[in-house]
Structure 1
Amino acid sequence: MAIKEHGRQYDLVLLGASGYTGRLTAEHIATNLPSHLKWAVAGRSESKLNAVVAECQKLNSDRLPPSAPAPAMVPFPVPDLNACTELTADRNTGVEIAHVDDEAQLRALVQKAFVVITTVGPYCLYGEPIFKLCAETGTHYLDCTGEVPWVARMINKYEDTARKSGAIMIPQSGMESAPADLVTWSMAQHLRKHLNAPTKDAIVTIHKLRISSKPSGGTLATLLVFFEHFPLKEIIEATKPYAFSPIPHTSGARPRKSLLQRMLGVTSLPYLGRVTTSIAGTTDQAVVTRTWGLLHEVPSRKDEFYGPQFTWVEYFTARNWLHGVAVHFALAVGGFLLAFVPPFRSLVRRFVFQPGEGTGREGMAKEEVEYRGTASPDVDDNPTGKQAFCRAWYHGSLYALTGVFLAEGALTILEEDVQLGGGSFTPACLGKGYLDRLDGAGFKIDVQTVEG
């Protein structure tokens, strides 16, 4: 499929390419995206970016490295380079020097790009300038944040700007929260197609999570900064169900939980087994419930709307009851300590990777993740208890999977008429074309009808 004509210097710019997640994203672009893609890596350090370019060329010497076309091929207005002398380190290799606190550099950069991916976090510290400028300049945008209050701020501040400019803004497009969003969308569309019914209750579980080491330095830096940056009231408001939805959820329907489950966090579910509280539940909920509202509002997506009685919840698969209770209370106690005990955050800092560091290649190859889910139809008569059952899986590094989500999302925008207009969207809004690309990149989704 051909890349759209857009008149900008680059099809894609990857900001933060020398960081841990950024490097893995660059590698996926180099080995999987079209060989004629015009792309650039961007960040603060020219030497580190050049190292990324060199590594990409080793991985796939048959494709173009990050590169810029000749100046005569750039019809889009470019900034006055005399006024911003540090902007470009090397026009022939597509290495762009841009500091996140230098608005002139960032504006010049985003005006060159049709799509920008940014992996520079914590986003609450470094993310707003690039989000703002993409919204203003009509440059499409993806990131891999999991900072829900920050996303809420960006939507409130720049949604109208993006609508006017036509920029498609898709935050939370990495492990948080693309898998849960896409699993939910896939089950809902299965019910529409095979049972001709909207969705009532959707449940997603992180069924298998095999990781070989602790989180990357960037992830842990974000976690530690999160509780220092956001007031507790703002966190609570942003993580309420449907807080991101463009329409209110007026039915009052909520996931059903027993008193024992509310106390201990553990329950058993058909097809999903024994489950407990998910560490990503509130983060993913924000995106999934925003998708619910967007599918009702976006004209090209109205046929995909989940339904007015929709409920959603996420769990983590527990090995047994004791493990489930332990996970539930560990998350509760850990969250309390991070939020209210600054010395605990200082202690954690002593044992983490530095930003830019993470699991080595050997450990990454052993990692895998599997999601499972069920979705029941919103119908009056369902004597056999028919419902959708979904499995989604990926073998490999979870940070590499984030790179897959980001790169394939950018390619979907580059190649397809996604018919979204401008605004802040979610991964599922990219639709079936996005899922097809992810399938080719190793993230598999299978949905079947089962009887309950």
Structure 2
Amino acid sequence: MAVNASPEYDLILLGATGFTGKLCAEYITQHLPTDLKWAVAGRNWKKLSAVVDDLKSLNADRKSPEIEIAELSSQDLDKLARKARVIITTIGPYHLYGTPVVEACAKAGTHYIDCTGETPWVYHAVQKYHETAKASGAILIPLCGIESAPADVTAYLLASHMRSKYSSGVAQLTHSIQALRGDTSGGTLLSALTIMDSYSVPQLRQSRSPFSLALSRPQAAKPLKPLSYRLFGSFRFPGLGLLTDSLCGVQDRQLVYRTWSLLDGGAFYGPKFTYSSWMRTKSRISAFVFHFGFAAAVVALLFKPLRWLLKKLVKQPGEGPPKDQHSSHFIKVKALATSDSNSRQTAECTMSYSGDMYYLTGLLMSEAAMVLLRPDPSKENWAQKLRGGFLTPATLGEQYVERLRNAGMRIEVGSEGEV
């Protein structure tokens, strides 16, 4: 993988003083190799120093990270990007603060990872910087957080299973969040409330297409929308239960379809590939309320005065679930796939994790960085083949999956009924 020449650091974490940034720094300190050369970066020396002091108690064997001061200006970020092989950034909202970081990395040939869920911003960043990154060899991986990385990896594993066991592609892949307990941070809420300040309604509509991030689209990608769902906001799917909308459904579809288009132009997943993403619900009534309530909330947020008021009432950036609640948080997902050559050939994948979802986001980004920094030539790694540009978590392949398992994520895949 091409990167900039002779960088000072393997990894720079930009935004280490924020809620997610602190948890990412903790994960790096506790779990990544002690010979990793890394730094934390941001605008405030005092706050960064406090983060570094807190990290010292987590791993006595690790040298403390260096501190790099950088404003979010092109001049400072260009210098910062040239100092690292990989930059992880947790500074959001990304539609407000992410573009200059992407630009600096794309020009410098520095790999980039973030945890945004703001696909309108990702859509415009891809249009603007994909070719620049391809030319420099920079691998840019957005959407590498809890919102969509698990869905992307799950789809990759099911496609891999279909190829290895049945020598076929996937006709239909249905992903579901089976159970979730957690809480949102102020940064996540701010991103949701400000995205409409940066993009017009036509721009948002254009970027919400399932294929807006894909280089091409499958031949027969028909959305799964049964009559029961259209009427009542829910439907039953064999093996997955009663399903309704997923808050991450839009991002999941866009990310998975981009992966589909990147891997041999769709040949790996199959030309008839159809993907959908849902969330399990307890009852028809709760699904009805959520489905139509969520749609009404999206329309309400078009009104700027309401967004202004909500910004005052919700958690503020830097705030998030208290640590004494982290041990009770968890997520479990399950996905089913059907072969495109024989409908009786099926597979399932389950993925689960116990712990805070923002800490999991730090895990997902940190382990992705390690695949970029220390690729294993014995394992499938599509990112190495693609060399540069806007890629996806799943393009990191088998080594990424192995690292996630070793980090505490339970991931199982096999023929349906065997998992």
Is the CA contact (8 Å cut-off) linking 1:207 and 1:317 kept in structure 2? Answer: yes
When residues 223 and 256 of structure 1 are mapped into structure 2, their CA distance, relative to the original with a 3 A threshold, is closer
Higher mean C-alpha deviation, range 327-336 or range 269-278: 327-336
1:139 maps to a residue whose letter is T
Q: Describe the superposition over 1:200-251 as per-residue Cα deviations: whole angstroms up to 9, x where unpaired.
A: 100100111111x4x11111111111111111111111111212111233x2
TM-score w.r.t. structure 1 length? 0.88
Q: Describe the superposition over 1:356-378 as per-residue Cα deviations: whole angstroms up to 9, x where unpaired.
A: 11111111221101111101000
Does residue 329 of structure 1 match 2:292? Answer: yes
Is the CA contact (8 Å cut-off) linking 1:201 and 1:255 kept in structure 2? Answer: no
Aligned length: 409
Shift of 1:258: 2.2
RMSD between superposed Cα atoms in Å: 1.7
2:263 maps to a residue whose letter is L
2:70 maps to a residue whose letter is A
Q: Describe the superposition over 1:299-346 as per-residue Cα deviations: whole angstroms up to 9, x where unpaired.
A: xxx87x1000000000010001111111111211111111x2223223
Q: Aligned partners of 2:330 and 2:212: how far apart in 1?
A: 31
Does residue 158 of structure 1 match 2:129? Answer: yes
Does residue 412 of structure 1 match 2:371? Answer: yes
Percentage identity across paired residues of the two chains: 40
Is the CA contact (8 Å cut-off) linking 2:220 and 2:274 kept in structure 1? Answer: no
* From 106, 112, 116, the counterpart of 1:145: 116
Q: Aligned partners of 1:451 and 1:14: how far apart in 2?
A: 41
Aligned partner of 1:95 in structure 2 is 67
Is the CA contact (8 Å cut-off) linking 2:224 and 2:276 kept in structure 1? Answer: no
Q: Aligned partners of 1:351 and 1:364: how far apart in 2?
A: 23
Aligned partner of 2:311 in structure 1 is 349
Aligned partner of 1:120 in structure 2 is 91
Aligned partner of 2:250 in structure 1 is 282
1:243 maps to a residue whose letter is S
Does residue 225 of structure 1 match 2:191? Answer: no
Q: How does 1:222-261 map to 2 (within 5 A)?
A: 222-249=191-218, 251-261=219-229
Q: How does 1:178-193 map to 2 (within 5 A)?
A: 178-193=149-164
Aligned partner of 1:167 in structure 2 is 138
Q: Aligned partners of 1:342 and 1:155: how far apart in 2?
A: 27
Q: Aligned partners of 2:212 and 2:172: how far apart in 1?
A: 19
Q: How does 1:36-51 map to 2 (within 5 A)?
A: 36-51=35-50
Q: Aligned partners of 1:63 and 1:419: how far apart in 2?
A: 33
Is the CA contact (8 Å cut-off) linking 2:336 and 2:416 kept in structure 1? Answer: no
Q: Aligned partners of 1:252 and 1:188: how far apart in 2?
A: 17
Q: Describe the superposition over 1:264-306 as per-residue Cα deviations: whole angstroms up to 9, x where unpaired.
A: 2200011100000111101111110000000024xxxx87x10
Q: Aligned partners of 1:242 and 1:386: how far apart in 2?
A: 26
Aligned partner of 2:380 in structure 1 is none
Is the CA contact (8 Å cut-off) linking 1:37 and 1:64 kept in structure 2? Answer: no
Q: Aligned partners of 1:256 and 1:61: how far apart in 2?
A: 51
Shift of 1:386: 3.1
TM-score w.r.t. structure 2 length? 0.94
Q: Aligned partners of 2:217 and 2:161: how far apart in 1?
A: 25
1:337 maps to a residue whose letter is A
Is the CA contact (8 Å cut-off) linking 1:386 and 1:451 kept in structure 2? Answer: no
Q: Aligned partners of 2:221 and 2:404: how far apart in 1?
A: 32
Is the CA contact (8 Å cut-off) linking 1:175 and 1:398 kept in structure 2? Answer: yes
Q: Describe the superposition over 1:180-201 as per-residue Cα deviations: whole angstroms up to 9, x where unpaired.
A: 1011111111111122211110
Q: Describe the superposition over 1:24-71 as per-residue Cα deviations: whole angstroms up to 9, x where unpaired.
A: 0000000000000000000111111111111111111111211xxxxx
Higher mean C-alpha deviation, range 413-422 or range 47-56: 413-422
Q: Aligned partners of 2:114 and 2:149: how far apart in 1?
A: 11
Q: Aligned partners of 2:325 and 2:163: how far apart in 1?
A: 40
Aligned partner of 2:270 in structure 1 is 307
Where 1:246 maps in the other structure, the secondary structure is: coil
Q: Describe the superposition over 1:385-435 as per-residue Cα deviations: whole angstroms up to 9, x where unpaired.
A: 231111100100000011001100001100006333111100000001001
Aligned partner of 2:331 in structure 1 is 369
Shift of 1:5: 11
Q: Aligned partners of 2:98 and 2:224: how far apart in 1?
A: 37
Structure 2: stretches of 5+ with no match in the other structure? 378-383
Structure 1: stretches of 5+ with no match in the other structure? 67-93
Q: Aligned partners of 1:341 and 1:108: how far apart in 2?
A: 40
Higher mean C-alpha deviation, range 268-277 or range 240-249: 240-249
2:204 maps to a residue whose letter is I
Is the CA contact (8 Å cut-off) linking 2:245 and 2:291 kept in structure 1? Answer: yes
Q: Which has the larger radius of gyration?
A: 1
Q: Aligned partners of 2:217 and 2:165: how far apart in 1?
A: 28
Shift of 1:6: 6.1
Is the CA contact (8 Å cut-off) linking 2:27 and 2:363 kept in structure 1? Answer: yes
